[in-house]
Amino acid sequence: MTFEEWVQSRLTAHGYPCGPIDGIFGPATRAALKHFQAAHQLDTSGVGDAATVLALRKPSSRVPVEEKQFIPDRDRDGPDDGRRSVWPRQRDVPQFFGPVGRNQTRLEVPWDMVLAWKTDISIRTITVHEKVAASAERAFHRIRGIYSTREIKALGLHLFGGSLNVRRMRGGSRYSMHSWGIAIDFDPARNRLSWKRPRARLSRDDAVPFFQAFEAEGWLSLGRARNFDWMHVQAARL
Ligand SMILES: [Zn+2]
């Protein structure tokens, strides 16, 4: 991550969204930076000076403003860093990933997780398909680098809602993406399947860097794409 990307990630985490986290200091980023600086009684220089960096590094205290929803720009997905994966469409998943429940591996999460529905059980590793493990690991480390432990908890990213789970889709005969270990759920209680913006916790501005870390690896958020199931990210396209 470049310094510019870090500044954009932190601005977004603080509730000052600046559009795609692409490392480009355009008008949107400068405007967000000036707003942040003004709110923190700093010189509104619009550049990432030492005092601003210090303030950006502190955990976010601002409750995200719901009216300032970040609208993903579909034409600009951020820079291609050369390792972005293209995952199959959902209908091609069986062909690409093979039989359900097979070829799984365990992945270490770089922060303390607990089982969402039984929080006295800590989760050290999660089970995912071998083909997606490296990409998920990079996304997790990128997220760890953006958010403080307090912010991870505020977002509910420590509440593991499941990955591998061989089951049929609700009300259908097709298998859920979880059946291949290519989907991960976070904080299901505050992101129920049918909940939309701004009710779902992960639909708020401060979660944008979390989703962008997965999207940089070609993963998809049903929340960001379809405004439901905000708990869920998957390594398959619609
Ligand atoms: Zn899910």
pTM (predicted TM-score): 0.71
Give the neighbor-by-neighbor strand order of the sheet with 220-221: 118-129, 104-115, 159-162, 183-186, 232-234, 220-221
Q: Is 153 left (phi over 0), alpha (psi -120 to 50) or beta?
A: alpha
Q: Quick one: DSSP state of residue 92? A: G
Q: How far is the CA of 195 from the centre of ligand 1 (A)?
A: 13
- Phi, psi angle pair for 158, to nearest 5°: -90, -5
- The domains of the chain are located at 3-68, 90-234
pLDDT value for 185: 98
pLDDT value for 61: 62
Q: How far is the CA of 149 from the centre of ligand 1 (A)?
A: 23
Q: Kindly write down the DSSP assignment for every residue of 174-202, as one continuous string.
A: SBPGGGGT-EEEE-GGGS-TT--TTTSGG
In terms of average pLDDT, the best of 15-19, 25-29, 66-70, 126-130 is: 126-130
Q: Look at residue 96 and give its three-state secondary structure.
A: helix
Q: How far is the CA of 233 from the centre of ligand 1 (A)?
A: 7
Q: How confident is the model at residue 57 (pLDDT cuts 50, 70, 90)?
A: confident
Q: How far is the CA of 188 from the centre of ligand 1 (A)?
A: 9
Q: How confident is the model at residue 84 (pLDDT cuts 50, 70, 90)?
A: low
Q: 68 pLDDT exceeds 70? A: no
Q: 139 pLDDT exceeds 90? A: yes
Q: How far is the CA of 161 from the centre of ligand 1 (A)?
A: 8
pLDDT in tens, 162-189: 999 999 887 888 999 999 999 999 999 9
CATH number of the structural domain 90-234? 3.30.1380
CATH number of the structural domain 3-68? 1.10.101.10
pLDDT value for 80: 41
- Do 195 and 230 meet the contact criterion of CB atoms below 8 Å apart? yes
* CB burial of residue 98 (10 Å; 0-12, 13-18, 19+): middle
